[in-house]
Chain A
C-alpha cells in the first residue's frame, strides 16, 4: 500500500545524526562505563553495544528507525516559541530559546511527521530532549494537537514519543494548558477510534506524563526509562526518605500496571507494526 508518495516539497529523508556527535570519538557509557566509539553507538541505534543501555535519541533518530526508507514529511515545522510573558529568571527566555536553537539546530523540543511504517501510514510526534530538557511549551502542545488532528483526518494511528522533564516554566500557565489541549484532541481521537500509542523514553515526567503520555491505547516504554509524575528529587524532599531501588523505572511502572509493554529500541519498529496490525479495522 504505497499511500505515501514522495512528493517534491516537504519530504525529508532521515540521515545520520550529524549534529549528535562527530565520528571517531569515544564516549563513556554512563551505565557500564565502557568506552564506545560514537560511530558504533550510532550504528547501534544509540544503544550501548556492551550493556544495552539506551542512550538518549532525538526525533531525527526515531524518524530514521520508524519510517520506511527513512522517508517522511515533517508537519508544522515552522512553529516557534515566543516569549509571551517576557519571562526572565537568571536568563531571558527569549535568549534561552535563541541559544537552544543555535545549539541544537532545532526550532523547539518536538518534531512531528507523517510517513509509512511497513507500508501503513503513521503520524509520529517525537521530543528532542536537547532543546531545554524536552520541556513542554505551547509549541509542543500545539504540534501534538495538530499531529492528532492529522491522524484523525487520515484515519491513521498516531505515536507520541516522550522524553521530557515536564512543563516549560517560562511559559507558565500557557504551558499548563497544553496538558488540556493535547488531552482534548485525544478525547476526540478516542471517540473516533483512532489508535494512539504512547512511547515513554528516559525521562518522562511532570505534565507530559500527567497528560498525553499516560493516555495511550497502548502505553509503551523503553527499557530503564525513568517515568513518573513528580521527579525523584521532589519526592525525596517531600517524604524525607530514600527512594527504593528501581523506583519509577519503566520496569517498576510496568509492575504497577501502567505500561502495556517495554520495548527495546531494536525491536521498536517490528513491535509497533505487529501491534498496529491488531488495531486496524
Chain B
C-alpha cells in the first residue's frame, strides 16, 4: 500500500535550462560556505549577501515564466505525483485496483483515504518515480481500463456518499493499437458524461500535465483547480508544433499560442482557482506543496458539501456548458 521511499535524483539540483542564473549563484554560495566551514576566514557577510541575491533572482525569474518554461516545470522528474499527495495529505489510504472488466491500469491509481476525519475517494494519474517505474506507469498515459477503473471507483464513492478528488497529470491517453481496440474513445467519453451526474462533490486538480482527452477523462468536477506551474490544453506544445508548423522546433511558440498556463486558463474562465507552488516549483518543497493543496481541498470540500446534490449537478453542467467564445453573424 505504501509508496516506496522516494530517492530524489541528484534531484534538487536537476536544474532546467532557464534556471541557469540561479544554479550559478547557488554554486557560488556553496563555495562560500566551504570557505566558511574551513574556518580560516569569515565570509558570513558575503554569504548573507549571496543568499539575498539568490532569493531576489529567484523571485524575479519565477514570476515571469513563459508558457514553455511552465511546461518544463510541470514535467520536472522530481515533481510530486498522485501517490505522494495522497500519502502526505491523508491517512489510511487503501489503493483499490482494477476495472472489473479487463485489467488494472498502472497509469491511473485510486482508492479511499481519510482526509481530516472523512473518507474521500482519490483518483489520479500516476507517473513513475524512476526509470523502471516510469515504464511500469506507462509515463502516466492510461489505457481504457484506467479510465474504466476511475469510473468504477467514482461510482463506488457515489454509492457510499463520499466526495471525490481527482489529480490530473498526463501527457495524454495512450495512443496504441490495443487501447484503440478496447475503446479508448468510448472510455473517456463515458467518464466525461457520467462525471456530470455524480451526486457527490467532485474536485479536479491539475497537478502536472493536463493533456487533452487523457486529462478531461477524469477532469469534470464542481471545481477545477490548477497548480501554479502546470498546463492544460487540447494538445501538447510539441504535437501542436509538429502539426501546425510541421516541425518539432516551434514548441515554445506553440506553448504561447495555446495559452495553456494556469493564469491564462483562469483568465478565460476555464478553471476556478490557481494553487500557488513553492518558489521554483512543487518539487522544491514537496511536503509544503502537499500541505497547501490539502488546505485548499478542505476549503472547497466544505463549500461544496453545503450544497445539495441536485444543485451541485446543475451548477456543474451550467459551468461547462458556458465555456467557449463565439459570435453572431450579422
Contacts and interface: CB of A to CB of B under 8 A. Distances in A.
Interface of A: 77-82, 84-85, 87-90, 107, 137-139, 141-142, 145, 167, 169, 171-181, 183-188, 190-191, 206-207, 209-215, 228-230, 234-235, 238-239, 241, 243-244, 247-248, 252, 256-258
How large, as a class, is the contact surface on chain B?
35 or more
A181 B324 contact: yes
Contacts of A137: 324
A234 B220 contact: no
Contact of A80 (B192, B219, B260, B329): B329
28 contacts: A79-B327, A80-B326, A82-B326, A85-B257, A85-B258, A88-B257, A107-B329, A145-B321, A169-B234, A173-B268, A175-B234, A176-B213, A177-B216, A177-B323, A181-B321, A185-B317, A185-B321, A190-B197, A191-B197, A209-B185, A211-B213, A214-B189, A215-B190, A230-B184, A235-B177, A235-B180, A239-B176, A248-B180
Contact of A212 (B189, B234, B244): B189
A173 B232 contact: yes
A172 B189 contact: no
B196 interface: yes
Interface string B94-109: 0000000000000000
Given A176-B233, A177-B323, A180-B192, A210 B259 contact: no
A242 to B, nearest CB: 10
A174 B149 CA distance: 27
Contacts of A85: 257-259
Interface in B280-302: none
A57 to B, nearest CB: 23
Nearest to A227: B185
A258 B243 contact: no
Nearest to B258: A172
A90 B241 CA distance: 10
Contact of B325 (A138, A179, A212, A238): A138
A187 B196 contact: yes
Contact of A258 (B186, B194, B197): B186
A174 B235 CA distance: 12
Contact of B180 (A145, A180, A207, A228): A228
B189 A230 contact: no
B233 A238 contact: no
A187 B213 contact: no
Nearest to A189: B193
Contacts of A179: 189, 192, 213, 216
A84 B325 contact: yes
A81 B260 CA distance: 20
B177 A211 contact: no
Identify the interface centre among B180, B188, B196, B323: most chain A CB within 10 Å of its CB. B180
Contacts of B245: 89-90
Identify the interface centre among A87, A138, A179, A191: most chain B CB within 10 Å of its CB. A179
Nearest to A79: B326
B124 interface: no
A184 B185 contact: no
A184 B183 CA distance: 20
Given A169-B240, A172-B260, A235 B189 contact: no
Nearest to A191: B197
Contacts of A188: 317
B303 interface: no
Nearest to B188: A210
B17 interface: no
A172 B326 contact: no
Contact of A190 (B192, B193, B234, B265): B193
Identify the interface centre among A175, A210, A248: most chain B CB within 10 Å of its CB. A210
B23 interface: no
Interface string B193-221: 11011000000000000001100110110
Contact of A215 (B189, B216, B219): B189
A82 B194 CA distance: 30
A87 B257 contact: yes
B168 to A, nearest CB: 12
Given A167-B212, A180-B220, A181-B321, A256 B193 contact: no
B16 to A, nearest CB: 24
B12 interface: no
B225 to A, nearest CB: 15
A213 B189 contact: yes
